[in-house]
Amino acid sequence: MSNSELTVEKLANEQYKYGFVTEIETDKLPKGLNEDVIRLISEKKNEPAWMTEWRLKAYKHWLTMKEPHWSNVKYNPIDYQDIIYYSAPKKKPTLNSLDDADPELVKAFEKLGIPIEEQKRLAGVAVDAVFDSVSVATTFKEKLSELGIIFCSMSEALQKYPELVRKYLGSVVPYTDNFYASLNSAVFSDGSFAFVPKGVRCPMELSTYFRINASETGQFERTLIVAEEGAYVSYLEGCTAPIRDTNQLHAAVVELVALDNAEIKYSTVQNWYPGDKDGKGGIYNFVTKRGACRGINSKISWTQVETGSAITWKYPSCILQGDNSVGEFYSVAMTNNMQQADTGTKMIHIGKNTRSTIISKGISAGRSNNSYRGQVRITKKADNARNYSQCDSLLIGDKCGAHTFPYLETNNPTAQVEHEATTSKIGTDQIFYLNQRGISTEDAVRLIVNGYCKEVFKQLPMEFAVEATRLLSMSLEGSVG
Amino acid sequence: MLEIRNLHASVEEKEILKGISLKVNAGEVHAIMGPNGSGKSTLANVLAGRPEYRVTVGEAKFEGKDLLAMLPEVRAREGVFLAFQYPVELPGVNNTTFLRTALNEARKYKNQPEISAGAFLSMLKKKMQVVEMPDTLLSRAVNEGFSGGEKKRNEILQMAVLEPKLAILDETDSGLDIDALRIVANGVNKLRAKDNAIIVVTHYQRLLNYIVPDFVHVLYNGRIVKSGDKELALELEDKGYDWVKDETVTAQ
C-alpha cells in the first residue's frame, strides 16, 4: 500500500466535525402540510393579511406542480407530509448583545468555529444569526440604521417594513417559479432582509449564519436583498448542520434586486452535513437564488463555495435587464464520498452591452457526482452582450464523476459568447513533486486543490476565504487516493 | 553521507537497477553518466522515493539511517533533494507559498520555529541572485507556463532555499541552451560546500565542464561498470558509450 493510500485510510475514518445537537427547547408544529399549517405559521409570526394570502396562493400553486427530476442527481422520493414546517426556539429573546443569548446557543456557535464574538471583533461583521427558523441575535443594527440601511430578519421586516417587503418579495422569484420555490413561498419560516438606500455604500459585510438544528425540520429560508440606486452591499451566508440519519430538506429562496448603478455581492460558504461515507443522512439542498440587475450599470456577483449537503441543486442566476449591467458567478463545488451536486448558473441577457462571467470549479472525490449546469441566454434586444464561461473539473480518484451541461442560446448576432471547459486529475507526479519538497500527501492535495480554486477564493472577503480554505481541506479528508 | 549497497529496483516488474553500490561523502560531487535506458534516472528517483519504483534487494543508508524505509517527504526533510528532470507544473499554487511551505516543513521536522513571511522574503531575494531569477517568477504558479530554462532554474532556486545535505540533479542540463546551462551550473557551484554532497546525473559531458566532479561513474544496464575521476567523463566524450558497452561485454 502506498503512502497516499495509507493517508486515505486514516482520513476516511475521521468524522464530520460539526456533528452535535444543541438542546434548546423548540416550539414546533406537527408534521405535515395543509392550509391550516400555513395559516398557523403566518399567525404565529403575526403577519399582515396579504402575506398569508400570498403564502396560500403559493401553496395552491405548489399542489399543481410536480417535483422536478431533470437534474443529474438520484434520491428516494421525499414525503412532504413527513416534514415539520415550523420550528422556533421556545425562549425567544430579543437581544442587544451576545451576553444575553442562551449559553447553549453561544456554545453551539463556538463549536461551529465561528463564534459571533470573534466575528464581531475580527471583521466588524454584523451577524444576523438564524438558528433554525427564528432570528435570535442581531447585532450592529444601530450603526447600520444611522445610514438608513435595514438589516434584519424577514419576520421583523414584515412587522416593521411591510410595504418594502411587499414591493420586492417574489418580484425576482415569483411563487410560481418552480416546485421548491413555490413550497418555500408557502411555508418560509424566516430569513434575512437587507435594504440599502440610494447612494449608500454599506460599510461592513452583512453576514448570516444559517444552521439547521431541530431533527426532521425542513428549513425554508427566504432572503431578500435590495440595493437602491448607486448603493453597494456585500452579503455573506455561511451554513453548517449537525449530523442526522434522516435526510433533511432545505429549500431556500434568495432574491436580489439591484437598481441603477447598484452593486450586490453575495457570497456563500455551504458546509451542511453531507451524509456519511455510505451516503446515509445528509441535507438535500434545493435552493433557488436569483438576482435582478434591474437598473443601468448595475452589478450582481455570486460567489459560492459548496462543500456540504448530500445533494446540492442550485443555480444562482442573474437577470441582466439594465443596459450595461454585469452578472458574475464564481463557484467551487466539492463533492466527496456519496455526495451529489448539480449546480451552476443562468445568465439572462436582456439589456444592451450586458456582460456576464462564469467561473466554475468542480472537484469530485470518492464515489461522488458533480455536475455543472449553466445557461447563457442572449435575448433579441441584448445588443453587444458578452459572456465568458470557464468550467473546470478536477477528479480525485477514479470512482467519481464530473459532468458539464452548458446551454447557450443566442438570439442576437452581435453577441459574443465564449465557453471553455477542462477536466483534469491530480497527478501522482504532482503529489510526488510536493512530497520530494517535504510536503505530506495530505498537504500536497490541499495545496493543489486550493491552487485550483484560487480564482474563486480571491472573490471572497478575506475572513471568508480563510474559512472556505479550511472547509475545503475538511471535505478533502479521506479523498486522497 | 550516503551509502548504497547492492541496490536492485524494478518498475512494473521490470528490473532496472541490478546491483548498485556507491558511497558519497560530504563535500564530494559525483557524476553518474551512461547511455539512455541505463538506469540513471531510476537511481535518482529510487533515492528520492518515487512510488512507482520498487526496491527489491539492497540498502541505502543516509547519515546512517535507513533511507529506503522513509516516506518521500521524510527523506526530503532529512535533507535529500531531487532536482527533477521534468519539473511538474502546479497550477494556481503560488511559487513563494510553495517554497515557504517546503522550508517550514523541514524546519518543523528539525524542531525549528517556522520562518516569518518577512524573513523568508529577504532570504529568498538573496537566493534568487544565485540563479539570476527575475522577481516575476515568484508571484506566478509553480512552473506553470515557465520555459524549460526557467523550470530548471526554479529547481536550483528550491535547492538554494532548502539547503539540502544531498542534492541529486537528474539531467538538469537536458533541454538547456548554453546560457541557461551556465546559469544553472553556476548556481549549483555556489551551493557546493564541504558539508554537503551533490550527485549529478547526466547523459552529456558538457555539464561537467561547469560542475567539475570529484568522481565519475558510468552506469550501464543497471550496474556501475566504471568509476574514475573527471578524466573519465572526457574519455567518454571522446570514445562514446559504445566503448564502455564493449568493455563490459568483453569482461563478461
The answer on pLDDT for A218 being more than 70 is no
- B53, closest residue in chain A (CA to CA): A2
Q: Shortest CB distance from A430 goes to which of B77, B82, B88?
A: B88
Q: pLDDT tens, A425-454?
A: 888 899 999 999 999 998 898 899 888 888
Out of A106-110, A429-433, B28-32, B208-212, which region has the weakest mean confidence (pLDDT)? Answer: A106-110
Measured CA to CA, the distance from residue A16 to residue A111 in angstroms comes to 12
pLDDT in tens, B200-221: 999 888 889 899 999 999 999 9
* ipTM score of complex: 0.95
**B91 with A443: Cβ contact below 8 A:** no
pLDDT band at B177 (very low <50, low <70, confident <90, very high): confident
Q: Minimal Cα distance from A447: which residue of B?
A: B93
Kindly state whether B12 is in contact with chain A, defined as any CB-CB distance less than 8 angstroms.
no
pLDDT of res. B2: 96
Residue of A nearest to B94 (CA): A451
Nearest CB to B93 within list A4, A429, A448: A448
Q: Is 60 exceeded by the pLDDT of residue A165?
A: yes
Contact B90 A450 (CB under 8 A): no
Can you list the domains of chain B with their CATH numbers? Answer: 2-251 (3.40.50.300)
**Are the Cβ atoms of A436 and B162 closer than 8 angstroms?**
no
Provide the sign of the torsion angle of the four alpha carbons B215, B218, B219, B225, taken in this order: negative
Instruction: Give the three-class secondary structure for B131.
Output: coil
- pLDDT above 50 for A264: yes
Q: What's residue A246's pLDDT?
A: 60
Which stretches of A156-205 are assigned E, i.e. beta strand?
192-196
CB atoms A435 and B71 under 8 Å: yes
pLDDT band at B139 (very low <50, low <70, confident <90, very high): confident
Taking every pair of Cα atoms in chain B, the longest distance, rounded to a whole number of angstroms, is: 61
DSSP chain B: -EEEEEEEEEETTEEEEEEEEEEE-TT-EEEEE--TTSSHHHHHHHHHT-TTEEEEEEEEEETTEEGGGS-HHHHHHHTEEEE-SSPPPEEEEEHHHHHHHHHHHHHHHTTPPPPPHHHHHHHHHHHHHHTT--GGGGSSEETTT--HHHHHHHHHHHHHHH--SEEEEESTTTT--HHHHHHHHHHHHHH--TT-EEEEEESSSHHHHHS--SEEEEEETTEEEEEE-HHHHHHHHHH-HHHHHHHHHHH-
Tell me the chain A residues in contact with residue B82 when contact means C-beta distances shorter than 8 Å: 436
| Percent of residues, chain A, with pLDDT higher than 70 | 77
- Taking CA–CA distances from B144, the nearest residue in chain A reads A451
* B76 touches A: beta carbon within 8 Å: yes
Residue B49 sits at the chain A interface (C-beta within 8 Å): yes
DSSP conformational letter for A13: T
Cross-chain Cβ contact A448/B52 below 8 Å: no
The distance of A69 to chain B (nearest Cα, Å) reads 36
Test mutation, B11, B73, B105, chain A, max A CBs within 10 A: B73
Residue A316 has pLDDT above 90, yes or no: yes
Whole-angstrom distance, CA of residue B47 vs CA of residue B72: 9
Identify the pLDDT of residue B149.
87
Nearest chain A residue to B110, by CA: A438
Q: Give contacts of A456 with chain B, Cβ < 8 Å.
A: none
Is residue B168 within 8 angstroms of chain A, CB to CB? no
Q: Is the pLDDT of residue B189 over 80?
A: yes
Length of chain A: 481
